[in-house]
Structure 1
Amino acid sequence: MSDKASCSGGDVRSLHVEDDTAKMGKHQEDEEKEEEKRDEEKEEEKEKEDEEKHDDKVIEVGDYSNMEAPSSLKTLCRYVETTLLPEDKILQFTIDKEVFGGERDTFLLPEDITQFAGMLEIGATVLAVYMRYLHDVLKQANMCSMVGFIDPATVSANSGTLADRSRLVAARLQKTDGEQIFMMPYNPGANRETVYFLDPLPGHRVVDEEAKNIVNSAIKIYNSHIGRAGRKAVIWKTLSGTPKQPSSVECGYYVMRFMRDIINDPSLGFENKYAKGNQEASYPQEAIDEVRNEWAEFVCQIIKQGNN
């Protein structure tokens, strides 16, 4: 009996274990399914949130009535929303060779315009478009022989080797009579043999070494090309009396305003104006908006000409 009972007892324990294992397996399977379902629900919820965020973003971008920007810039943003984005287009036009010494095609992306409208950081293309506008201002004032421009895209940090960029600057200088003041916006990440360094960032600033090497080499190449001995060393003058930008974002806007202010003074007395040695206050927003308005009106004019 004891053997039978023992055997029987063993069978029962075995059945219980198998039964428990089956139950545990089923329970685990149910839990996995439940977890899978929860993950799917979370994923769906996240997708829904992303869609809602995207919808909110679109509404926000399209709400130009509350945007703090000149009316011409709001008009341009509406053009981005109603035409460029729906039709997957960009703005393309040609900058004449008189501006930078060689003809170049320019491509304005929708984000170039919306970033400019939002007072976000801007790049070389936006600056080049404004320089094209300023070239017209110079022509009207008969000042093209006094002031010239160097394409910011040819000297920017990722535009080739230092030697390549120096040669491009030298080539630009060779297409002039040597008496012009040149404006060369440079972003690290005027050019006779005195180079004026205008930097709107606060504090005691020194000239970026790469920019200095590019210009020094370019002037050396230029002097060699025209057979002039030139100075032993290029003179660099830091003009510390420029208005100071409130943060690191406004660089492009301040550079645009500097160029505008220099050109609007026929005497080109910017050295005395900015060499006070005292840190000037920031530009008021109205002064920056003047530049933004001129830029937007010029781009609107290009669009209008393209549609005719």
Structure 2
Amino acid sequence: MVLRSEEDIRIPLEHEPNTARFFIPAKCIRELLVGNAWLDFSILQLWCTCMHRLCISRNRSKVFGILDPVCLDFNPADPSTKSKVQGHIQTRLRDLNKVCYLAPYLFKGHWQLIIICPKDNSLVVLCSMHRDLNEGMIKIVSKALEVHQLCQGNRKKAKWFRPKPRKQPNGNDCGYYVMKNMLDIISANITKSWMEVFNDPTALTEDDLYDLRNQWATCFLDLYNT
């Protein structure tokens, strides 16, 4: 994650109540707009607010919850950080009461999208490299949902789904694929049939990438001018 500098731009976030304002490095914005660069935490954080606004505009606020990627970041060697992440997920599941939660997750420089669906007792990972989650995060998310379900009187074990979605052709574009999957899920109101819906490994086109950058920039300018 890029450290704050005098070039950082302060803007409001709306998807995460515990983060009233945050600073986005100007360097990360330039890299996004130029393209062909790996996306930083701050870019995906702002995209979460874009998706939060999309939920409101499409009248889907009761369907989708957005989890901030920074709140999912943990140190595999530090058990206390794992407990903190699990506690955060459990709190959000309890307080928001959504059908599905979309959680952009970064591990060792690679972005993946975790989807938590309490009502169906299902968990999904969408990865543009067709990899599974690391074992630590699998345990954290599984345990968080298990505890939440037990509080609801449900003792059934959650089922994981691992579709084969669009596949990136390089090592830098994983953030864009997470952005695109979040956009598609909310736009089409997708809450189930994950294996059938995300079964096309075709790479994103340059037009797709341009559209994502354009939507991100539009939301950024609107937030910046707020």
Would you say how many aligned residue pairs link Structure 1 and Structure 2? Answer: 208
The whole-number CA distance in structure 2 between the counterparts of 1:201 and 1:214 is 21
Matches within 5 A, 1:1-308: 88-96=6-14, 99-119=15-35, 120-158=37-75, 161-177=81-97, 179-189=98-108, 190-191=115-116, 192=118, 193-201=121-129, 205-224=131-150, 226-231=151-156, 233-240=157-164, 242-268=165-191, 271=194, 272-274=196-198, 276=199, 280-305=201-226
Give the letter aligned to residue 302 of structure 1: L
Distance 1:293 1:100 in 2: 23
Query: Per the alignment, in what secondary structure is the counterpart of residue 206 of structure 1?
Result: coil
Separation in structure 1 between the aligned mates of residue 210 and residue 183 of structure 2, nearest angstrom? 12
Q: Secondary structure at the match of 2:106?
A: coil
Offset of 1:123 from its aligned partner? 2.0
Which structure shows the bigger proportion of residues in strand conformation? 2
Q: CA deviation at 1:206?
A: 2.6
TM-score (ref. length: structure 1): 0.62
Distance 1:292 1:107, change over 3 A: same
Point out which structure has higher relative CO (alpha carbons under 8 A, 6+ apart).
2
Deviation at 1:102, TM superposition (A): 3.5
Answer yes or no: is the 8 Å Cα contact 1:186–1:211 preserved in 2.
Answer: no
C-alpha distance in structure 1 between counterparts of 2:152 and 2:124, whole Å: 24
Q: Which has the higher helix share?
A: 1
Query: Residue type of the partner of 1:187?
Result: L
**Shift in Å, 1:110:** 1.0
Q: Deviations over 1:167-212 (max 9, x none)?
A: 11111111122x421101112212122101111115xx33321221
| Runs of 5+ unmatched residues, structure 2 | 109-114
Closer/same/farther in 2, CA of residues 89 and 123 from structure 1, 3 Å limit: closer
Query: What are structure 1's unaligned runs of at least 5 residues?
Result: 1-84
Structure 2 counterpart SS, 1:161: helix
Residue type of the alignment partner of 2:189: P
Between the aligned partners of 2:140 and 2:159, the Cα distance in structure 1 is 14
Q: Is the 8 A contact 1:188 1:211 kept in 2?
A: no
Change (3 A) 1:173 1:180: same
When Rg is computed on C-alpha atoms for both structures, the one with the higher figure is 1
In structure 2, relative to structure 1, the CA distance for the partners of 1:122 and 1:157 (3 Å cut) is farther
Partner of 1:53: none
Q: Please, what TM-score do these two structures have when normalized by structure 2?
A: 0.83
RMSD: 2.1
- Residue 93 of structure 1: SS of its match in structure 2? strand
Runs of 4+, deviation exceeding 6 Å: none
In 2, the alpha carbon distance for the partners of 1:92 and 1:127 equals: 15
